[in-house]
Structure 1
Amino acid sequence: MDFGKMVGESFGYAKEGLVGKWMKWILLLIATIILMLPLMGYALRVYRGEKPAPEVDKWGTLFIDGIKYLIICLIYAIPLFIVLFLALAPMVTEVMAAGGDPAAVSAALAASIGTFLVGLIILVILAIIIGMFSSIGMVRFARTGSMGEAFNFGAISATIGKIGWVSFIIALIIMGIIMGIIELICMLIPFVGQIISFILIPFITIVEARYICLIYDSAGTA
């Protein structure tokens, strides 16, 4: 898998789709403001492999697709919520049982920190796995129109197997680092950094969606 080529193609796709086409960019910013639902729906169009970047139209469809996108994300997030709860519950219980006494609270935190750290490690590992499955599942949903295909774990596993589990993880890490750097740069810009970060949301969304699309297509799966 040529990671550099995929990153370059993804940024080029977003640049071609938005730079100089400011009305499309503005419409996607409006889509961001409206609970991001239309923007999620737009990402599904990118997942379908449309090239160049699709127009921003049929807002009713964008809303409906965005809601479906959100539902799929929430379902995938359920195991993460459960693990997080199990990791935090002992700590919260111990602190509450301490009755507000500082020494007892400190002792309670020390006693439960090990369980919390183990839970945190499990949470990170689970998040990576879920991120892989949900990404491929979302593309399957986008291309088939069936929400059930987003949870077709057998087909998703087969696709990831063709991509390569290690290659997929590396690909996600690379994009995560790039997006983290962009966000960090925006945070470091005084006063207008948050505004720039908001303006870049449509561009970043398209880059990430196209990147996942290219990873999916590298498996040769329809």
Structure 2
Amino acid sequence: MLTESIIYLKDSEDAWKTSIIGGVLLLFAFLVIPLFLVWGYVVRVLDRTARGDDEAPTFDDWGELTVEGAKAFVILLAYSLVPIVVGAFAAGGVVLVASGDPGVFGVAVVIAVGLLALAAALLTAYVVPAALAQFAAERRIAAGFDFAALRPVLRSATYATNWLLALGIVIVGSFVSGILGSIPFVGAVLGAIVAFYALVAAYYVIGHAWLDLHPIAVEGSNGESTSDRPAA
């Protein structure tokens, strides 16, 4: 799966064009609309790979891409609120500790809240890819919060394994992107391209986890509905 995810975008038609566009959009993500376009592309990756289509999408139909990306961003933002709020409490506790003498109990509370914030961030990072895959399958924002459908996915070894692989890809991509970013002039663009490439590769892995857990129903020769592969 690692090899397939790495060559997914490279072996596609217009690979360089797609990578450069994605990198430039990511570089200007602070303008918000480019960020929507990036996440719209990710939604397309999830949609295709979850249906067994390993042909990487291209940047086209920009209006639809923006709308789908905006919806995906709403899901991301909603899930991010939990670690943000907990992290704010942790930061406030650190400020109080630094400004006075809270004692052992106060320090213990701050550490506990800090660990809680870390756990919330990890949990959010674990749930969000599945939520986006669920959204890509149904194209409804509410689908990203359908915990009845998400729960069995999140509990599965298939999703956990693929999520760890996807996380590793993003971490390595971020590391390489950071190194490239230190190169004068072109470094920022090269780093953004690598970051985009890693993001796409990671969601390719998530899409295939979704496909394994939600086999596509196909019509058999006898007219009965069968699955093209067993569920994981």
Q: Deviations over 1:38-65 (max 9, x none)?
A: 1110110000024311121110011111
Question: 1:193-212 maps to which residues of 2 (within 5 A)?
Answer: 193-212=187-206
Question: 1:149-164 maps to which residues of 2 (within 5 A)?
Answer: 149-164=143-158
2:167 and 2:73 map into 1 onto residues whose CA distance is 23
What does residue 68 of structure 1 align with? Answer: 71
What does residue 174 of structure 1 align with? Answer: 168
Against the structure 1 CA distance between its residues 218 and 53, is the aligned structure 2 distance closer, same or farther, given a 3 Å change threshold?
same
Against the structure 1 CA distance between its residues 172 and 109, is the aligned structure 2 distance closer, same or farther, given a 3 Å change threshold?
farther
Against the structure 1 CA distance between its residues 77 and 16, is the aligned structure 2 distance closer, same or farther, given a 3 Å change threshold?
same
Where structure 2 has 5 or more consecutive residues not aligned to the other structure, the ranges are 217-232
What does residue 9 of structure 2 align with? Answer: 14
Report if the CA contact (8 A) 1:91-1:108 is conserved: no
TM-superposed deviation, 1:94 = 5.3
What does residue 126 of structure 2 align with? Answer: 132
Against the structure 1 CA distance between its residues 168 and 109, is the aligned structure 2 distance closer, same or farther, given a 3 Å change threshold?
farther
Backbone CA RMSD of aligned residues: 2.8
Report if the CA contact (8 A) 2:19-2:196 is conserved: yes
2:80 maps to a residue whose letter is: A
User: May I ask how many residue pairs the two structures share in their alignment?
Assistant: 206
1:206 and 1:62 map into 2 onto residues whose CA distance is 15
Report if the CA contact (8 A) 1:84-1:123 is conserved: yes
Question: SS of the residue aligned with 2:12?
Answer: helix
1:190 and 1:165 map into 2 onto residues whose CA distance is 36
2:162 and 2:16 map into 1 onto residues whose CA distance is 33
TM-superposed deviation, 1:216 = 2.1
Higher helix share: 1
1:167 and 1:219 map into 2 onto residues whose CA distance is 13
What does residue 211 of structure 2 align with? Answer: 217
Q: TM-score, normalised by structure 2?
A: 0.75
TM-superposed deviation, 1:206 = 1.5
Against the structure 1 CA distance between its residues 155 and 203, is the aligned structure 2 distance closer, same or farther, given a 3 Å change threshold?
same
What does residue 62 of structure 2 align with? Answer: 59
1:28 and 1:193 map into 2 onto residues whose CA distance is 15
Question: SS of the residue aligned with 2:133?
Answer: helix
Q: TM-score, normalised by structure 1?
A: 0.78
What does residue 95 of structure 2 align with? Answer: 92
Against the structure 1 CA distance between its residues 165 and 24, is the aligned structure 2 distance closer, same or farther, given a 3 Å change threshold?
closer
TM-superposed deviation, 1:176 = 4.3
2:46 and 2:128 map into 1 onto residues whose CA distance is 13
1:30 and 1:195 map into 2 onto residues whose CA distance is 7
Against the structure 1 CA distance between its residues 140 and 93, is the aligned structure 2 distance closer, same or farther, given a 3 Å change threshold?
same
What does residue 42 of structure 1 align with? Answer: 41
* Identical aligned residues as a percent: 18
